[in-house]
Amino acid sequence: MRQQIVAGNWKMNTTLEEGLELTKSILEKVEKPRGLVVVAPPLTHLRDVGKMLKVRKYFHLAAQNCYQEEKGAFTGEVSANMLASVGTEFVIIGHSERRLYFKEKNDVLAAKVNVTLARGMRPIFCCGEPLHIREVDTHVGYVAKQLKAGLFHLKEEDFRKVVIAYEPIWAIGTGRTASSLQAQEMHHAIRVLVAKKYGKAVADDTTILYGGSCNAQNAPEIFSQPDVDGGLIGGASLKADDFAAIIAALK
C-alpha cells in the first residue's frame, strides 16, 4: 500500500534560528497527520531540525541534495554518508532548480539515487517538463525519459524505496498551477510507465507527489485525485499555518 506524504522543501531560506522556530510551529499545529510529513531544511539546519522531528511519529528529515561521490576532494559538497550520519532519512534528487541552475544531467542524478539508497536513505526523485514541452503535448515522453534514465536501472527492491515527485516546471514558483486533471493525467501516466517496467503491484505501491505552486487552497482538490499521493511543497512550507493546512488535505 502506497504512502501519503507531504514534503516541505525550504530551499535556500531561513536562518538556523528561524528554521527551528518554524519547525516548532509546524509540530504544534500538526498533531496526527494522515500520512508522513517530511521536512527538508537547509544543510546547516539538518542536525538540529532532525532532533526536533525525531520525537514525533510520522515526521521525517530530508536533505535537499547530495553529491554523487562517496568522499574525496570535492570542496563544498556533502556526501550521502554525511547526511545519513546526522539522521537524514530522505534526499530530494533532481529538483528542477538543480537541473536548470546546476546543469545536473540524468546520469549524475542516477548516481545520486544510488549513493542515497546505499546509505539507507530514500530518494525523492523529481521529474517534470518545461512550458514549451507541455505546449507541444510531448510532456509524457519527456518525463518518461527522465524516469528511465534516472531510476529504471534499479532493481525492484530498491525502486520500492523511491518516492517520485512530479513537478511541472512551468508551475514552480510562478503561482501558475496545473489543474487537478492535468496533475492526475501525468501521475497516471507515470504509474503506467512504472507498471510496464516493474509490474502493476509495484506501480500501485509507488508514492507519486505533486509539486508546483501547491498551496492550502488548491491542495484538497489536487490530493483528491486517485494517483496523487501528496505534495512536494516549496514556498507554502515556509508558513506553518499553510503547511499544516496542506498536510490536513491528505487523503
Q: What pLDDT does 163 receive?
A: 98
The amino acid at 103: K
Strand pairing report for 90-93 and 122-127 = parallel
Strand pairing report for 163-166 and 208-210 = parallel
pLDDT at 171 over 90: no
**Contact status, residue 246 vs residue 32, Cβ threshold 8 Å:** no
**What is the C-alpha radius of gyration for the chain, rounded to an integer number of angstroms?**
17
Q: For 6-57, write each residue's pLDDT tens digit.
A: 999 999 999 999 999 999 999 999 999 999 999 999 999 999 999 999 999 9
The catalytic residue among 89, 129, 167, 187 is 167
The beta-strand segments (E) located in the chain are 5-9, 36-40, 59-63, 90-93, 122-127, 163-166, 208-210, 230-233
Q: How far apart are CA 168 and CA 126, in angstroms?
A: 10
Domain count, the chain: 1
Percent of the chain predicted with pLDDT > 70: 99
Q: How far apart are CA 238 and CA 201, in angstroms?
A: 35
pLDDT at 160 over 80: yes
Q: What pLDDT does 212 receive?
A: 84
135 annotated active-site: no
The catalytic residue among 95, 97, 139, 187 is 95
Q: Residue 11: which CATH number? A: 3.20.20.70
pLDDT at 86 over 90: yes
pLDDT at 218 over 90: yes
Q: How far apart are CA 1 and CA 91, in angstroms?
A: 22
DSSP class of residue 188 equals H
Q: How far apart are CA 178 and CA 114, in angstroms?
A: 31
95 annotated active-site: yes
Pick from 188, 186, 183: nearest CA to 214:
183
pLDDT at 159 over 80: yes
Residue 102 structural domain: 5-248
User: What is the pLDDT averaged over residues 106-121?
Assistant: 98
